[in-house]
Structure 1
Amino acid sequence: MGDPLNSNEPSKSRQRRYVTFRSYAPVSDPIDLNVDDSRAIACVAQIQQDLGCELPLVGKRFVVILESLFVAEEQKAYARVLRSLGGLVDFASKLWGNKEMRITSHVEGNWNQLNAAHTIALTKDIAKDVIPQLARYSAIIFSANYTMKRLSWLAEISTAKDSEELREARQNSDLGLLVDAAMRNERLVKAFNCHAIWALMTQPEHAQGITMAFNGVMAPEADALRIEVAPNPDGQDIHLHTHVDGKVVSSAAGVNGGTEALLRSLVRTILASER
């Protein structure tokens, strides 16, 4: 038996390290992502039926905040549902001084079963295009998965002299300033999907006492933020668990119908606030 480390034929364990990703062409709009949106289409029909109105969101604008490691199906659902109901939807992130930035989706699976990664090219910047124009939006959506964790990254981690300096940097970051502006805006509806309560870690004082649904892995952060846990009705699929506390809409999952459940609650909250 030869030495596998010196062999020209890699062993099976070594072969698992080399994976060729199928690469989809970058899209400039999540509506063009090559993923199944049948749940989103069904969600549109259900909302229209419940409201007895085909375009209840005419004249309303939404902004979705995201970063790399986004869930492709989630982002397409925002575009499909909100636009199909008559709304306008923008997608924004921190562009780091660039006119355009490409971000990549989360990839599920093991070494032998990997889904293809998706890429979105974004042109709207949180600091330049969203915060100054926040008044134009009916709602802001903070995306699921690890997008808000990535947006929380601070260059100051390597230069801060103490925790207080790092705390100030976090609050004055683009995400921190956005969260502060959004939470202070009493008219604006704020939606947090799954892991998105990470965004609130930049401005903890705005989270205290709010009742929210969130991914179970976020329990330590929710406790630190003094967020109240929204009870899940007996027998309900946790993926469909949402909660509304005033102008804050939240969900426990961004997949398996969770985003569509969030959107149903979001639409109801926006329309109810106008009555």
Structure 2
Amino acid sequence: MSYLPLQGKKIAILVNSQYIAQEIKGYQEKFTAYGAKVDLMSRLWGQTEQTFVSEVEQEGKTPETLTVWIDFTQVNLNDYAAVIMAANYPSVRLRWLSDQDASGQPINNSSGRLSPAVQFIYQAMMNPKIIKGFPCHALWLLTPIPEVLAGRKVTCNRVMLGDVSNAGAIISETASGVVVDSDIVTSDSDSHREAFIEAICQQIQAVDQGTLQPAITAATTPSANVSVESVIPYLRERKILILLSEWGYWGEELVGPLETFDKVGYQVSFCTPTGRRPNAIAVSMDPLYIDPPLGRSVTCVAMAKKVAEIDDPSTNQGKRLDTPINLRQWFPERPYWSDSQLVRLMEIYYERLRRAQESLDEFDALLIVGGSGPIVDLANNQRVHDLILGFYGQGKPVAAECYGVTCLAFARNIENKQSIIWGKQVTGHCIEYDYKDGTGFMRSRGQFLDFNMGPPPYPLEYILRDATGPDGAYIGNFGHPTSVIVDYPFITGRSTPDSYLTGQKLVEVLDGEPPLRRWGW
């Protein structure tokens, strides 16, 4: 019987002009011999096919041609076990951004991210079960999205060492010329094609066998007391309560943790202050929106689609948000001190609060999603504070992102009025990333449109510095691509890029071997 380790698998090869003819033939022959189907694809610009010309290195040599019928924007990426960006200069050509791509927007330092090929490979990078291959110059397709390269071990053609290093990658050298870092396989030139193909084959098999080691980067390296194996194997039954603002949450700050919880099999329940369906801020599903402090887009096309899907009540994902728990009905309101029956009403309040907090037994952790909305209906919401104190009193993890971290600063025991993060290490939206203008949020669908509230009414960093006290600390990590701090029982994430990492760290806190208790400081 023939050896067919890739039987039934599909391999995508991204090509364009100035490809290496022998490289493409090598992929077709070798992967096909292993039982896989090889699909050549590129950008067809609305045509049914495109013909590309190979490189010509020798004078008088006639270039070869290659006709492609598959446009990568029209395929289901999850159908593929591996995606390989061809060597030489196709990656440079595929980064091309036309006037149509830019949708009439002025060119800025984030425009390169909007190239369809860059967005396609970004989607692939977000799925660790798809093996990505980058020989020779191919990593040029990733340099517009440096966050996916940061901390990854790679090799590449010598001419692009500076580009790849500046993107935050770790340049490695091997005798074989091939570097494997979990779901990424790179080579320094096409001369190592055989070893490159074999490495991709091995990683595809590791995915099938469940033995693929997760990528460990500077941003995701577990603390010293957490083993590498503890990053993925979460199979215990868990239930997470996710608290969302009704005035607009930032899309990725829900999608990132939610996808993480879904992948490990956690159950999720949603909660809003009055039981209304939460809505994503419109700019959080707009890849053309330029974040004012950063001067670039913070939402890729793939993420924008995910946010739009969960924001749409007609989709299966969107239906998950249809009937959130009503916090107002669940937790009691504390009486006003001026009430003539204060003593009696406080007795009733404490009894109802006790029952409400006891009902948290079914949940293992709380996550507060960020965005502009929490400024309005979560940060100074007494019921939210009592909800947090309920999890805190049971010794259960509480995670918060971006402006959602404000809720932790204001969650205080009514007797001593000291924040529960006093003496703790936390992160949150730092002053360097705060807006002077351009923060939009909505109330509820059909009642209010997005509007520009200008700068936040408070600088979160200063609030957190005060709330943590002299024995704690606010850690902003300004200039670093991510900032997530674990100081049990709190997991705090600075902003949008930390969404997936915040979810991952919460999982490690619950089910790491041993459970994570301190990370990031």
TM-score by length of 1: 0.71
Q: Percent identity?
A: 29
Find the partner of 2:115 among 156, 168, 173.
173
> Do 1:179 and 1:202's aligned partners in 2 also have CA atoms closer than 8 Å?
no
Find the partner of 2:70 among 113, 124, 135.
124
How far apart, in 1, do the equivalents of 2:72 and 2:3 lie? 31
> Do 1:62 and 1:88's aligned partners in 2 also have CA atoms closer than 8 Å?
yes
**Counterpart residue number, 1:83:** 32
**Counterpart residue number, 1:209:** 151
Structure with greater contact order relative to length (CA < 8 Å, sep ≥ 6): 1
After superposition, residues 51-200 of structure 1 pair within 5 angstroms as: 54-109=3-58, 113-129=59-75, 133-156=76-99, 161-164=106-109, 167=110, 169-200=111-142
Q: CA deviation at 1:186?
A: 1.7
**Counterpart residue number, 1:263:** 197
How far apart, in 1, do the equivalents of 2:60 and 2:171 lie? 34
Find the partner of 2:177 among 237, 241, 246.
241
How far apart, in 1, do the equivalents of 2:107 and 2:19 lie? 32
**Counterpart residue number, 2:162:** 220
SS of the residue 1:201 aligns to: coil
How far apart, in 2, do the equivalents of 1:53 and 1:273 lie? 22
Letter in 2 for 1:163: N
**Counterpart residue number, 1:236:** none
SS of the residue 2:142 aligns to: helix
Deviations 1:218-261 (A, max 9, x none): 1111122111011223xxxxxx400100110111111x3x2222
Q: CA deviation at 1:162?
A: 4.8
**Counterpart residue number, 1:229:** 171
> Do 1:140 and 1:189's aligned partners in 2 also have CA atoms closer than 8 Å?
yes
> Do 1:213 and 1:243's aligned partners in 2 also have CA atoms closer than 8 Å?
yes
Letter in 2 for 1:78: Y
- Relative to structure 1, the CA distance from residue 121 to residue 162 in structure 2 (aligned partners, 3 Å threshold; closer, same or farther) is closer
How far apart, in 1, do the equivalents of 2:207 and 2:49 lie? 35
Q: CA deviation at 1:80?
A: 0.2
Q: CA deviation at 1:163?
A: 2.1
Letter in 2 for 1:115: K
SS of the residue 1:259 aligns to: helix
Q: CA deviation at 1:107?
A: 0.5
How far apart, in 1, do the equivalents of 2:61 and 2:159 lie? 23
> Do 1:106 and 1:117's aligned partners in 2 also have CA atoms closer than 8 Å?
yes
How far apart, in 2, do the equivalents of 1:114 and 1:210 lie? 41
Q: CA deviation at 1:53?
A: 6.0
Letter in 1 for 2:63: A
> Do 2:12 and 2:82's aligned partners in 1 also have CA atoms closer than 8 Å?
yes
Q: CA deviation at 1:273?
A: 2.4
How far apart, in 1, do the equivalents of 2:2 and 2:137 lie? 32
Q: CA deviation at 1:120?
A: 0.9
> Do 2:8 and 2:36's aligned partners in 1 also have CA atoms closer than 8 Å?
yes
Letter in 1 for 2:30: V
Going by fraction, where is helix more abundant, 1 or 2? 1
- Relative to structure 1, the CA distance from residue 104 to residue 231 in structure 2 (aligned partners, 3 Å threshold; closer, same or farther) is same
Q: Which moved more, 1:144-153 or 1:173-182?
A: 173-182
How far apart, in 2, do the equivalents of 1:160 and 1:116 lie? 41
Structure 1: state its 5+ residue gaps: 1-51, 234-239
> Do 1:108 and 1:114's aligned partners in 2 also have CA atoms closer than 8 Å?
no
Letter in 1 for 2:140: W
> Do 1:92 and 1:124's aligned partners in 2 also have CA atoms closer than 8 Å?
yes
Q: Which moved more, 1:63-72 or 1:173-182?
A: 173-182
> Do 1:197 and 1:214's aligned partners in 2 also have CA atoms closer than 8 Å?
yes
SS of the residue 1:272 aligns to: helix
> Do 2:21 and 2:64's aligned partners in 1 also have CA atoms closer than 8 Å?
yes
SS of the residue 1:95 aligns to: coil
Q: Which structure has the greater CA radius of gyration?
A: 2
Deviations 1:132-160 (A, max 9, x none): x1111110001100000011112249976
Letter in 2 for 1:116: T
**Counterpart residue number, 1:251:** 187
Task: Give the paired residue count.
Answer: 207
Letter in 1 for 2:183: K
SS of the residue 2:17 aligns to: coil
> Do 1:179 and 1:203's aligned partners in 2 also have CA atoms closer than 8 Å?
no
Structure 2: state its 5+ residue gaps: 210-521
Q: CA deviation at 1:171?
A: 1.7
